[in-house]
Amino acid sequence: MSSTTMSAPGPAWTDPECPVARTLDLVGDRWSLLVIRDAMDGARSFTEFQRRTGIARNILTDRLRKLTAHGLLAQRTAPSGRRQEYVLTDAGRDLFPVILTLRQWGERHAFAPGETHSTLVDQHGTPVPELAPTSADGTPLGTETTRVRKAR
């Protein structure tokens, strides 16, 4: 975790030694992840985030503040010079594999066979291949082949 994220005012951690729990404390609600998703897709302004998500103004204001305070988004002056915009930081961009994994899980489990849904494609228009974790030697990893080593 970056020092920016750790030094920002944070929640009382749900499980202080668990990276999954800390991540969920920071971005584990639906609105935060949808804001990050839309920032990855080019949204920059408050109005764009609100239009794309349908989120209430007060909730969007809260999520943008939280994501900025924890170093996932940064505010900068828009090229027009007339307003502020939000851009992903390195930490925010690092959530790409998380969003991709959620997307791919949703494609497999949240739609009926043949049901229409959006598709993530690369710069050539080719669908992004399935993300599959592997060990250093290329062996596929799953719940049967991994374990958590608890902090001491």
pTM for the predicted model, two decimal places: 0.85
For the chain, give the mean pLDDT. Answer: 91
Write the pLDDT tens digit of every residue in 109-122.
999 999 999 999 99
Helix axes 30-40, 19-27, angle to 10 degrees: 80
Residue bearing tokens 């920016």? 4
The values of phi and psi at residue 73, to 5°, are -125, 155
> Does residue 93 carry a pLDDT above 50?
yes
Report the CATH architecture of 3-109: Orthogonal Bundle (1.10)
Q: Domain ranges for the chain, please list them.
A: 3-109
Of the pLDDT bands very low, low, confident and very high (cuts 50, 70, 90), residue 12 is confident
pLDDT of amino acid 10: 54
Distances 70 to 23, 75, 85 between C-alpha atoms, Å: 11, 12, 17
Using CA atoms of 20, 120, 54, 28 in order, give the dihedral in degrees to the nearest 10. Answer: 0
